[in-house]
Amino acid sequence: NAGVTQTPKFQVLKTGQSMTLQCAQDMNHEYMSWYRQDPGMGLRLIHYSVGAGITDQGEVPNGYNVSRSTTEDFPLRLLSAAPSQTSVYFCASMAGSEQYFGPGTRLTVT
Amino acid sequence: GQNIDQPTEMTATEGAIVQINCTYQTSGFNGLFWYQQHAGEAPTFLSYNVLDGLEEKGRFSSFLSRSKGYSYLLLKELQMKDSASYLCAVRLNYGGSQGNLIFGKGTKLSVKP
């Protein structure tokens, strides 16, 4: 099992560019989520999904879109990157009492 | 609103015992998680408490008191590799059957020889 995978590991964007962060899991988990982690702020929930075709907003959704066409994949789209979106992004999937995180994507917006 | 508090930093000595506290005030409660996160890495699951009391797992134990909105993580026989950030997270009642997690800001533990 690969668990939760994320690509890319690192990305530099210019302000205004768009991009998609990929996330996939092979554990057949219904629940998936995206977090961002900033120094001194902890992990904050961006969007989550409770199953294919169902998504909802978390604590800090502005500037991000998600979709969930399959159980396995949960991509995060940045529509028009801003310096405030410089952060480390973690995708996670959950079943029962355990949540598994992907390795993270370190994004810098200049 | 949701609020989870834990100390920002702690220092302890190799071989000692350290207790990391977490207090929470949330609009719902469906369990409390502890994660370990080494610098530059993803968080990894340590423990989960949904009922009051102590859960022991090797050198790590976690305690929960729902009436007091309080949990702690106890690390025994500290090793240098335990130097990491420890994240407390509360699972809320919404967000589908799994429930969304709200994280504290983390406690950075430094273990010294």
Bridge-based pairing state of the strands B107-112 and B9-13: parallel
User: Residue A70 and residue A6: Cα distance in Å, rounded?
Assistant: 16
Residues in chain A: 110
Residues of A in contact with B95 (CB under 8 A): 31, 48, 50, 56
Q: What residue of B is the nearest CA neighbor of A39?
A: B105
Q: State the smallest CA–CA distance between residue A82 and chain B in angstroms.
A: 23
Interface test with B, best of A10, A36, A41, A101 (most B CBs within 10 A): A101
Q: State the smallest CA–CA distance between residue B50 and chain A in angstroms.
A: 9
Region label for B80, one of left (φ > 0), alpha (ψ between -120 and 50) or beta (otherwise): alpha
Per-residue model confidence as pLDDT tens for chain B (113 residues)? 789 999 999 999 999 999 999 999 998 899 999 999 999 999 999 999 999 999 999 999 999 999 999 999 999 999 999 999 999 999 987 666 667 899 999 999 999 99
User: Residue B103 and residue B13: Cα distance in Å, rounded?
Assistant: 27
Closest CB to B96 among A40, A50, A103? A50
Residue-wise pLDDT tens digits, A86-100: 999 999 999 888 889
**CB pair distance less than 8 Å for B98 and A94:** yes
Closest by CA to B90, choosing from B75, B67, B70, B61, is B70
CA angle B84, B91, B82 (to 5 degrees): 15
